[in-house]
Amino acid sequence: MKKFNHVPVELQDIKATNKDGIRLYETPDGNMYPSITTVLSVRNKQGLFEWRKRVGEEVANYIARTAAARGTAVHHMCEDYLNNEDMEKHKEKFLPHALFTQLRDKLLTRIDNIHSQEAGLYSDKYKVAGRVDCIAEFDGVLSIIDFKTSTKERQDSYNESYYIQASAYAEMFEERTGIEINQICILVVTADGVCQEFVKDKKDYLPLLTEAIAEWKQKNEKVNVVNRDIVGVPV
């Protein structure tokens, strides 16, 4: 098994909480920032609503639960593998382990010099926060790396929110450490074992990040008093 090198990076932890359906992170300075996932959910709601209407709530809930459980299991396996841990304990989860194996053999071996995994990050500039899957070199270039599972192969156009989210993490990491990251990588394994890689430049998505944050603030500016706790949301 490949042994991965880890590069120590000091990051202050942030605390997550949920308030009135909004996921918030408290920074070391006491600011409450919404998660970048929450902010971007505004952009995804219409398509999700139409899908649920088309397949029905019961089927939609089952698909969502199954996909979430599979994705969480594969994420844990990727994290343990990159931490050079023994993977025997994961073999009992047959399907997730089979998907992880495909991802490992085709993509994960191209990762090294790991700076952080599952690290809490935040930005005082953008006033958002979140937890990044992995920050490491991919093909020798320091990158924000996000692991995804999918029921079928993804078209590039489907991934815009993923690219915006990863670009936000790159900005957060630079604010926290002074280390610039320009490359973002979305690594996908489908339910039938097909692996996909999407490698982008964060600069192409920063205008969309600013736009998404402004849209979220606008939609939430008249929501109840919870917003008084959220930095950057007008009341």
Where along the chain do its domains lie?
A: 15-229
Q: What pLDDT shows up at residue 69?
A: 76
Q: What pLDDT shows up at residue 19?
A: 87
Percent of the chain with pLDDT over 90: 72
What tokens appear for 228 in the block? 């008084």
Predicted confidence (pLDDT) at residue 152 exceeds the cutoff of 80: yes
Q: What pLDDT shows up at residue 48?
A: 56
Span 60-105, pLDDT tens digits:
565 556 667 788 999 999 999 999 999 999 998 899 999 999 999 9
Residue 163 · residue 186 · CB < 8 Å: yes
**pLDDT band at residue 197, thresholds of 50, 70 and 90?**
very high
Classify residue 95 as left (phi > 0), alpha (psi -120 to 50) or beta: alpha
For 20, list phi and psi in degrees, rounded to 5: 50, 40
What tokens appear for 125 in the block? 């500039």
Span 203-224, pLDDT tens digits:
999 999 999 999 998 888 754 3
